[in-house]
Structure 1
């Protein structure tokens, strides 16, 4: 039995969530976000989306699933 990619609908190996192409696209977008945040650590989701072209909803999904961490800059400074 074949499974189908949740994103593009193409056939893929059973038990996977996305096909290899969509999985690679996700990884590329994640790396772009991560690199941007490393350069601009106080950015919010809207700023990241505007700079990278990746949707706010996808950025928030990375935060929800724990791939990206939100740090309160006031807490880091001891305020």
Structure 2
């Protein structure tokens, strides 16, 4: 069985899950998100998506896989 890129369908080398083009695009999106969050650290996924044009689902995928970290900068009161 031939492995294909899960994004575009290109045939892959063994052990890869995205082709080189999709992988590069993914890295560019990650950098864009990271740079935005550095400038606007209290942004939520919807704000990031609206500002960068990158989908909320992709932003949440980066959070789920550990590429991006969520930090709670709002201490809880009244405990």
Give 1:1-79 correspondences, 5 Å limit. Answer: 2-75=2-75
Runs of 4+ off more than 6 Å: none
Shift of residue 4, structure 1, vs aligned partner:
1.0
Q: TM-score, normalised by structure 2?
A: 0.90
Aligned length: 77
Separation (CA, whole Å) in 2 of partners of 1:33 and 1:73: 19
Q: Over aligned residue pairs, what C-alpha RMSD do you find?
A: 1.5
The structure with the largest helix share of the pair is: 1
Task: Show CA shifts across 1:28-66 (max 9, x none).
Answer: 000000000000000000000000000001100100010
Q: TM-score, normalised by structure 1?
A: 0.90
The structure with the largest strand share of the pair is: 1
Is 1-10 or 17-26 further displaced after alignment?
1-10
